[in-house]
Amino acid sequence: MGTFLAPAKINICLHVLNRRSDGYHDLAMLMQRVSLYDKISIALTGGADITVQCGGVTLPAGQQNIAARAAQALLDRAGVRQGLEIVIEKNIPVAAGLGGGSSDAATVLMGLNDMLSLGFSPEQLMETGVKLGADVPFFIFKHAAWATGIGDRLEEVHGLPPVWYVLVNPGLEVSTAWVYKNLRLTSARDNLRIPRFSGEVEEVVNLLHNDLETVTVERFPLIEDVKQQLIRLGAKGALMSGSGSTVFGVFSDECTARAAAEKMSCHDGWRAFAVEPV
C-alpha cells in the first residue's frame, strides 16, 4: 500500500481571456499549492477492478470518480491490468475552487507511477492528466506556476514571498460549469505577462484578481462578506479562489493568520484553515 498527500491550490489571479471554439476558455493564472491536504491510500489487489472509497463525502462512485479514472487512464497507457483499492480521506472542501478533485487525480497518477515502477516522466503524466481536468497538470508540475491556455501551459514562478493564507469555505458548493456559462466577457486581453517578485507581501496583494468572482458573488453575496471579514481580521487582501466558493486572505505572519482562522471557524457551517505555500 502507498499513502500520499494531495494539496489544495489557490488562484492568486485568474484572468479569462476569451472563449475558444472547443468550448473551453483561454486563461492566464497564477496558481500556488498550499498546505491543506487530502490523504490518499492506494492498495494493489488481486482482481482487475478499481474501487474508490471517500467516507463522509458524496462523490461519483467507481469509474466516474476522477481518482478512479486517473488510475485507469495510467494503467491503460502502460498496458497493465491491475486491481486497486483507493481510499481518500477528504479534507479539501468539494466544489470549492481549491482543485481538490484535480489534485487527487494528479496524486493517483504520480503515486501509481511510483508504486508500479511504470517509468513515466512528469511530462507524460501531465499529458495523461490534462485529459482528466485542466488543473491536473499543475499538481504534477509541483511549483507555483503561471498557467495559460486552458491552464495546462505552465511556467515556474520564482520569488513568491513567504506569506500565510487563511482559506474560508462558507459551506457553499459552486459548479464551475455554471460559473463559466454565466460569465460575460468584456474584452480580450493579450498584454498579461508572467509576474516577477522580490519577496514583498504587497506584490501578492497587488495581483489579486479573479474574473469569475463577479459571477459567483452575484448568486452568493455571502462570499463578499467573507472577504470583508478577513480584511477586518488583518488580511492584507482577500479573493475568491477559482470558481468559488472558498475565499482566501493574505497574511504577513502565521500568528495573525491562525487567530483569524480560529475566529472564522466560529461561524456555523464554515470551515477555515491557516495554510502556507508548498
189 vs 172: CA distance, rounded Å: 31
Contact 208, 12 (CB under 8 A): yes
241 vs 221: CA distance, rounded Å: 15
Render the burial of 189-228: b for 16+ CB within 10 Å, e for the rest: eeeeeebeeeeebebbbeebebbbbebbbeebebbbebbe
3-state secondary structure 17-85: EEECCCCCEEEEEEEEEEEEEEEEEEEEECCCCEEEECCCCCCCCHHHCHHHHHHHHHHHHHCCCCEEE
142 given a catalytic annotation: no
236 given a catalytic annotation: no
Give me the catalytic one of 9, 90, 227, 236. 9
Cβ-Cβ contacts under 8 Å for 226 (sequence gap 6 or more): 168, 170, 238, 247, 264
225 vs 214: CA distance, rounded Å: 13
Q: What is the DSSP letter of 100?
A: H
Contact 148, 141 (CB under 8 A): no
Give me the catalytic one of 104, 135, 152, 211. 135
Q: What is the DSSP letter of 269?
A: T
Residues catalogued as catalytic: 9, 135
